[in-house]
Amino acid sequence: MEKGLLQSDELYKYILETNVYPQEPEPLKEIRALTASHQLFFMGTSPDAGQMIEMLLKLTGAKKTLELGVYTGYSLLLTALTIPEDGKIVAIDVNREYYEIGRPVIEKAGVEHKIDFIESEGIPALDKLLENPDNKGSFDYVYVDADKINYLNYHEKVVKLVKVNGIIVYDNTLWYGSVAKSEDLVPEVLKQGRTSVLQFNKALAMDPRVKISMAPLGDGITICRRVY
């Protein structure tokens, strides 16, 4: 299952090779290569989406960030490389084993001190963060790339954690292009995720708390700015 949503594989390859890879930092190339041989390689953040995320982080001056769904750490490392030296990332994932695949690269890049890794299911970890009043409305940037069935539940929590005018980015909001296909044409393995993503996209578009922009990068990313 390719993530690129362009009709032409050649065109997507052109974008990556001409525009993305030349500016991709070496540690990110390394973690991407490590991930490529893993059986769940398709779970990694696409480098073209990562390029946009880096720009968002720089434009907003993000310093305190939250990541829900880490996998091997491509987007986590990207964020750690981009935010200031005294910036912090709360990184939540249910599987520490996958994080350990990329952690040596993160260590070598000299940015592990910015990361607070929490091995946990997403909902209880977010609830614990919300228990501390200081966390509410305090995060500059949130990245969500976790189980799609809980995206709406995650949104209700992270929208309280991100500051007004802060950014939330959701990955996989076009779900391999299946959102635009009739259900009978969608492979069985994608159907549950497709249903969740369709519901999430509809709800997000109607949420007055955020302004959104869906970008056809990688598997689709939806960029949200908290309005109030």
88: containing domain: 9-226
Q: Tell me whether residue 179 is in a domain.
A: yes
pLDDT for 8 equals: 82
Q: Tell me whether residue 1 is in a domain.
A: no
pLDDT for 92 equals: 98
pLDDT for 190 equals: 95
**Nearest by Cα to 62 from 168, 140, 162, 135:** 140
Number of domains in the chain: 1
CATH assignment of the domain containing 170: 3.40.50.150
Q: Tell me whether residue 130 is in a domain.
A: yes
pLDDT for 104 equals: 98
DSSP element (H, E) containing 29: helix 26-36
Q: Tell me whether residue 4 is in a domain.
A: no
Question: In which band, very low, low, confident or very high, does the pLDDT at 1 lie, cut at 50, 70 and 90?
Answer: very low
How does pLDDT run across 72-126, given as a tens digit for each residue? 999 999 999 999 999 999 999 999 999 999 999 999 999 999 999 999 999 999 9
DSSP element (H, E) containing 214: strand 210-215
In angstroms, the first-to-last Cα distance of the chain is: 37
Q: Tell me whether residue 67 is in a domain.
A: yes
Distance CA 166, CA 103 (A): 27
